Structure 1
Amino acid sequence: MNGDRNTALGAFLRTRRALVRPEQAGLSTAGRRRVPGLRRDEVALLAGLSAGYYARLEQGHERPTRQTVESLKHALRLDESATVELHRLARPAARDRRERVSPHLLVLLGDWTAAPAYVLGRSGDVLARNALAAALHNRFVHRDNLHRMIFLDPAGPEFFRDWTATARAAVHDLRQVAGQTADERGLRELVGELAIASPRFRGLWAEPEPRGQVRPGTCFFHPDVGELDLRTEVFPITSAPGQRLVAQPAEPGSRSADALVLLSTLAA
């Protein structure tokens, strides 16, 4: 693995293997055991990895492939939330390739207080949010990418009340981007990750492209303020091709407008 050691991934793996009892994994408990939970070599065996490779993962010297992440998910008996976190930690930070938001746009976001607003990158990365969008999305584990929020995050199915419409629009968006930048490594990795981790994404990705306009869902649910009906307006950012400003205002005087005010107050 190039660059800094992935110490967060190593800490996660050590913590999770300590939580799995050998008998849960069908392993013998005979003899004295010096560690709680599973040993490194036992995790490696269960995941079909070499002991040396798994040791390097815990030391932060390797970046696991998507297949390795799936193997570790089963070996460590991870639930949905923990699997999301493992996928997040396995991805490189890629600071040198990350898209940047212009300072002027960041100022505009900071001054925009009436509606949730955020900036999306080419592959759906959430590059910046205003305070109200941060409050709206505060229950998500996957906050870095809109497609991961929809397909991989445990909060997604509850938050996106018309999940199917939202998911179809997300797949349509990814197809459009892939048609323009098919050679982009980050996009290929994102599609591969979603296809492996989400059967629902696999099914939609395999379907023919629908005819006509595909609109995202407009109905949301936040546990602190309840149901929200918001418009979704998308504005291309001409100074940064591929980036989009997404604003989600409520109808003035509506219950959803009152809910946004309450959410803003709670966040403050």
Structure 2
Amino acid sequence: MNSVDHRERTDSADHRIDGVGDPRRALGGFLRTRRERVAPEHVGLAGGRRRRVRGLRREELAQLAGISVDYYVRLEQGRATQPSAEVLDALAGALGLDGAERRHLATLAGARRGPAPRARVSPLLQRVMDAMAHLPAFATDHRLDVVAWNALGAELMGGLAEPGRRDRNQARYLFLDPASRDVFPEWEDRAVEAVGQLRVFAGRYPDDAEPAGLITELSGRSAEFRRLWATGEVVMCAAGRKRLRHPVAGLLHLDYETLHVPAAPGEVGLVVYVFSADEGSRDAAALARLATAAEEVPGARAG
């Protein structure tokens, strides 16, 4: 992973695609991957080569958390629902979960059925993004659809304003369009981010059929997606630096920040990505050239 990216990282739900959309199985899969990560000797248990399972056994984790083995087995198998906050806290402590992992565990444990949210770009948000004419910016929803952008952001990301140039779904673009590997030199890092975000959102909105359908589609069409999905990793971008390549601007080293737009009732919050370069740097000059080129692209602003 890119060492300068600052992210919240964890592993998540069952890597089996048919578990998508089922919060109980997602919770069980998350617990299993965390259990398999813990080295027995790190919690005072005997390890060694003779162990036939990775990490902790179920009964060992149950003992460390102070819960019955039967109850833990039912949790991991998706047969127990709505564990208490005390049980979740005990499991998190026994598994050594960090803050991000604890939040994801709570999300999976508390997922409730409900209508799929809709994404809406307010006129104000679009005006704000357009006003940042010299900073590339775009916004995504919980399905990784790019739903808004400014002219410079559209051009930087491979032609968002022109539907024929690239798919506006970030995951589909990464895994199914070879051109994405030219835009993103660290393609593997970007692919891991996309898979990690899909895991988070699939757990948060289990009744939205579109993310589940996207995951199923990509699993059937991309061996690399299947490989990354099987790792169970979750990555949520926060801030950092990325390299992007553009035919006009060349190779760019840009800082990025993520801004979270709160959700209105019945809607989903959006994530806005804003890129920048140090003033007076070669990258800033390249962005300025790209901004000039972007102004010439028809329909460069999102409608």
Q: Is the pair's TM-score, using the shorter chain for normalization, greater than 0.5?
A: yes
Residue in 2 aligned with 1:189?
Answer: 213
TM-score with structure 2 length normalisation? 0.52
Aligned residues: 173
Is 2:293 the partner of 1:266?
yes
Is 2:91 the partner of 1:99?
no
Query: Does the 8 Å CA contact 2:141/2:269 hold for their aligned counterparts?
Result: yes
> CA shift at 1:123, angstroms?
1.1
Query: Does the 8 Å CA contact 1:126/1:143 hold for their aligned counterparts?
Result: no
Query: Does the 8 Å CA contact 2:158/2:183 hold for their aligned counterparts?
Result: no
Kindly report which structure 2 residues correspond to 1:33-72, keeping only aligned pairs within 5 A, or say none: none
Stretches of structure 2 that go unaligned for 5 or more consecutive residues are 1-116, 296-303
> CA shift at 1:210, angstroms?
6.3
> CA shift at 1:262, angstroms?
0.4
Change beyond 3 A, Cα 1:214–1:171: farther
In 2, Cα distance between the equivalents of 1:213 and 1:128? 18
In 1, Cα distance between the equivalents of 2:237 and 2:290? 31
Is 2:149 the partner of 1:126?
no
Is 2:244 the partner of 1:220?
yes
Paired letter, 1:249: S
> CA shift at 1:134, angstroms?
1.4
Q: Which has the higher contact order (CA 8 A, sep 6+)?
A: 2
In 1, Cα distance between the equivalents of 2:127 and 2:239? 29
Query: Does the 8 Å CA contact 1:172/1:214 hold for their aligned counterparts?
Result: no
> CA shift at 1:263, angstroms?
0.6
Kindly report which structure 2 residues correspond to 1:11-160, keeping only aligned pairs within 5 A, or say none: 99-139=119-159, 141-160=165-184
TM-score with structure 1 length normalisation? 0.59
> CA shift at 1:223, angstroms?
1.3
In 2, Cα distance between the equivalents of 1:126 and 1:159? 16
Residue in 1 aligned with 2:29?
Answer: none
In 2, Cα distance between the equivalents of 1:230 and 1:200? 26
In 2, Cα distance between the equivalents of 1:129 and 1:187? 21
In 2, Cα distance between the equivalents of 1:153 and 1:191? 16
> CA shift at 1:267, angstroms?
2.2
Paired letter, 2:146: V
Q: Which has the higher strand share?
A: 2
Q: Sequence identity, in percent? A: 35
Residue in 2 aligned with 1:250?
Answer: 277
- 2:126 aligns to what SS in structure 1? helix
Query: Does the 8 Å CA contact 1:126/1:146 hold for their aligned counterparts?
Result: yes
Is 2:228 the partner of 1:204?
yes
Query: Does the 8 Å CA contact 2:195/2:234 hold for their aligned counterparts?
Result: no
